[in-house]
Amino acid sequence: MVAEVEDPRKFGVIETDATGKITTFEEKPEHPKSNLISSGFFVLPVEIFDYPAPPRENGEEYIPDRVARMIQDGHEFYTECSTQWIPIGYPQDLQKAEDILCPKK
């Protein structure tokens, strides 16, 4: 599931071809190649576990690293655009999400 955002640098950035097939998937790039980002919702094959991700400096393993390796091996992944997506990955996002989901009357 993907969404378009103004500043994609703090998300997993996705590039697709005309059919929606993912061509690149990069986590938190300094210079994003598109404004299309992963919303964090995935439907992945069990083979994803055969592709260990290298740990990053912060100790996390990123799913985009696994997906990118699978794409290099010939696996295909397609996107579906969300009609509504509210990011909640950072503390400052929570109040914004609450205001949208629970508007005060």
pLDDT in tens, 16-29: 999 999 999 998 89
Taken in order of first residue, the domains within the chain and their CATH numbers are: 2-101 (3.90.550.10)
d(CA 18, CA 100): 32
pLDDT in tens, 2-52: 999 999 999 999 999 999 999 999 988 999 999 999 998 899 999 999 998
Taking residue 99's Cβ as centre, other Cβ atoms within 10 Å add up to 11
pLDDT in tens, 87-101: 888 888 888 888 888
